[in-house]
Amino acid sequence: MELIVDHMQGWARLTLNRPAQKNALNTALLAALAEALATCASDPALRAVVLTGADGNFAAGADIAEIETKTAAEGAVDPRKAHWAAIRAFPKPLIAAVDGFALGGGFELALMADVMILGPTARVGLPETNLGLIPGAGGGQRLMALAGRARAMRMVLTGEVIDAETAIDWGIAAYLAEGPALDLAEPLAQRLAGRAPLALMAAKAALLAGEESALALGAEREAFEALLDTEDKAEGIRAFRERRKPEFQGK
């Protein structure tokens, strides 16, 4: 089972469960996550959701095997876009409990959460330019809104991965746990479950409306799709698989 759903008293825990792939987000897992969140949204007994990853990692990016042969035309009609939209449309508080790697699409998923909690092992980044691509689910825009232009440019252009303390210092995450992120995330979810649910949903909707109206999410996605057809993207993924430095030609 690629997604484990546990219902608690007033809240739910969703665990990304592809440990052999460090919980990389393939299309099936994204679809399962979108479906599970839709179910949680419709259940009045569930007032908050914690999202975490199995075996010490949150999600180490998208599934490279799916991206490797994907063309720009396929990217334009990719079902993943609808899954991402459904995840972002979840109306209740969403907490990301991040340990280990949260890279690429995994970090983009954590950035969609309302509260990000990092464990001391967390390592976050948007290294898509290493593959001749860019973030495709709005991660660059959301990172810039949180960390500022200079730091977002630094991370996206260089592919730099930062540690938990740096992410906290840069305003990317809300909490730094002393141990596993779930140690803070679960009590927080329980606390939120006891608060006024209509007020929390209204507050989330109002805050996101203000933030997302200023983000160029469509432009970022269009640029990602265009890059799928480039030779540099093919070379970047070959180099990743062969564990070598890519030789980009600007084609």
- Pick the catalytic residue from 53, 61, 105, 125: 105
C-alpha–C-alpha distance, residues 53 and 19, integer Å: 8
- Pick the catalytic residue from 12, 34, 128, 225: 128
Reply yes or no on whether 128 is catalytic. yes
Reply yes or no on whether 62 is catalytic. yes
- Pick the catalytic residue from 108, 186, 220, 225: 108
Question: Dihedral of the CA atoms 18, 22, 25, 26 (nearest 10)?
Answer: -60
C-alpha–C-alpha distance, residues 125 and 226, integer Å: 22
Q: Scanning the structure block, which residue is given the tokens 């432009």?
A: 219
Burial 172-191 (b: 16+ CB within 10 A, else e): bbbbbbeebbbebbbebbbe
- Pick the catalytic residue from 48, 59, 60, 62: 62
Which of these, 221, 196, 191, 195, lies nearest to 82 by C-alpha position? 221
Reply yes or no on whether 122 is catalytic. no
At a CB cut-off of 8 Å and minimum separation 6, what does 99 contact? 52, 53, 56, 57, 58, 118, 119, 121, 122, 180, 181, 182
User: Order of strands across the sheet with 161-163?
Assistant: 59-60, 101-103, 123-125, 161-163
Is the CB of residue 119 less than 8 Å from the CB of residue 102?
no
C-alpha–C-alpha distance, residues 45 and 12, integer Å: 10
Is the CB of residue 133 less than 8 Å from the CB of residue 121?
no
Is the CB of residue 94 less than 8 Å from the CB of residue 208?
no
Reply yes or no on whether 132 is catalytic. no
Q: Report the first-to-last Cα separation within the chain, whole angstroms.
A: 40
Catalytic residue ranges: 62, 105, 108, 128
